[in-house]
């Protein structure tokens, strides 16, 4: 699918505020509200825009502790097995296959250190996990939504 400069601007505006009206976006990109809606519908049907979501501050809901955990797995563990297993844990924010020594990197959020320790123990109990190495986040320095590259 071809994404032109106007599509990129619409996406950037939605990333900044997904609750923006089509009329507000249209005023910013010089299109009518129905024209913006058609473009957004096209971007959604093509899978470019996968959905709209609320961004919640984890600390505001009591999840003040986070960590990145390197998973070391048995030799024949597939990315699909890791994905299925990590989805079972509510503390998992994301899981990724990575290059380097570890087989995967898992991002966890928990209420406190005790909760994090429980989550780690459950993660370590997965049958394919041979060991883990954890890094607790002290502070978040940069956090941004998905950014659309500028055209050109």
Question: Helices 5-16 and 22-29, interaxial angle, to 10°?
Answer: 130
Contacts of 79 (CB under 8 A, 6+ apart): 97, 104
Taking residue 103's Cβ as centre, other Cβ atoms within 10 Å add up to 19
Contact 128, 77 (CB under 8 A): yes
- Supply 112's token pair: 């406190």
User: How far apart are the C-alpha atoms of 103 and 105, rounded to whole Å?
Assistant: 7
Assess if residue 151 is contained within a domain: no
Same domain, 33 and 95: no
What single-letter DSSP state applies at residue 146?
-
User: pLDDT at position 148, please?
Assistant: 59
Question: Which residues constitute the domain of residue 96?
Answer: 58-137
Q: What does the pLDDT look like over 46-68, one tens digit per residue?
A: 999 999 888 888 888 899 999 99
- Average pLDDT of the segment spanning 75-103: 96
Is the confidence at residue 17, as pLDDT, over 70? yes
Higher pLDDT, residue 10 or 145: 10
Is the confidence at residue 21, as pLDDT, over 90? yes
Is the confidence at residue 145, as pLDDT, over 80? no
Is the confidence at residue 150, as pLDDT, over 80? no
Is the confidence at residue 146, as pLDDT, over 80? no
Contact 134, 66 (CB under 8 A): no
Is the confidence at residue 11, as pLDDT, over 60? yes
User: pLDDT at position 58, please?
Assistant: 86
Assess if residue 75 is contained within a domain: yes
- Average pLDDT of the segment spanning 25-48: 96
The beta strands (E) that lie in the chain are given as 65-73, 92-97, 104-110, 129-136
Same domain, 33 and 84: no
Q: What is the dihedral of CA 87, 91, 93, 98, to 10 degrees?
A: -70
In the chain, % of residues over pLDDT 90: 80
- Supply 68's token pair: 């990145």
Whole-structure pTM value: 0.75
User: pLDDT at position 55, please?
Assistant: 80
Is the confidence at residue 129, as pLDDT, over 90? yes
User: How far apart are the C-alpha atoms of 80 and 37, rounded to whole Å?
Assistant: 36
| Domain of residue 42, CATH code | 1.10.10.10
Assess if residue 86 is contained within a domain: yes
Count of the separate structural domains present in the chain: 2
3-state percent helix, strand, coil for the chain, nearest multiple of 5: 40, 20, 40
User: pLDDT at position 56, please?
Assistant: 82
């Amino acid at each position: 699918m071809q994404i032109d400069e106007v599509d990129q601007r619409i996406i950037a505006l939605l990333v900044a505020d997904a609750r923006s009206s089509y009329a507000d976006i249209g005023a910013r990109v010089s299109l009518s509200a129905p024209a913006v809606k058609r473009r957004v519908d096209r971007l959604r049907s093509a899978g470019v825009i996968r959905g709209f979501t609320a961004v919640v501050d984890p600390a505001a809901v009591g999840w003040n502790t986070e960590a990145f955990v390197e998973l070391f797995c048995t030799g024949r563990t597939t990315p699909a097995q890791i994905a299925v297993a990590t989805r079972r844990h509510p503390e998992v924010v994301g899981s990724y296959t990575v290059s380097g020594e570890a087989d995967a990197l898992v991002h966890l959020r928990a209420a406190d250190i005790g909760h994090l320790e429980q989550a780690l123990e459950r993660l370590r109990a997965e049958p394919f996990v041979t060991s883990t190495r954890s890094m607790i986040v002290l502070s978040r320095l940069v956090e941004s939504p998905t950014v659309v590259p500028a055209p050109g």
